[in-house]
Amino acid sequence: MKVLIPGPLRSYTDHREVEASGDTLGALLADLDRQYPGLRFRVIDEQDAMRPHMRFFVNGAQVFDASHALDPGDEVQIVQALSGG
């Protein structure tokens, strides 16, 4: 499935859009990490929780759990939240 990569993570993929597979968001992230080592750790912490500054969208709807089921035709977008003043 198509995965849209935010600018800060493109140093891992060298592309704005990549292909990955998985039946859940967690499995998709594992596949991305297999293809692009180190990427998963930037979005998932040591306790396997989504990092607070990362957002995940499946077909435009925000997803809050790595166990969220995916279909092969889904589009996943990873977004890094910005903060500051």
Distance CA 64, CA 51 (A): 11
Is the pLDDT assigned to residue 85 strictly greater than 60?
Answer: no
Decide: residue 46, CB within 10 A, 0-12 exposed, 13-18 middle, 19+ buried: exposed
Q: Domains along the chain?
A: 2-80 (3.10.20.30)
Q: What is the pLDDT of residues 25-63, one digit of tens each?
A: 999 999 999 999 999 999 999 998 999 999 999 999 999
pTM of the complete model: 0.90
pLDDT of residue 82: 74
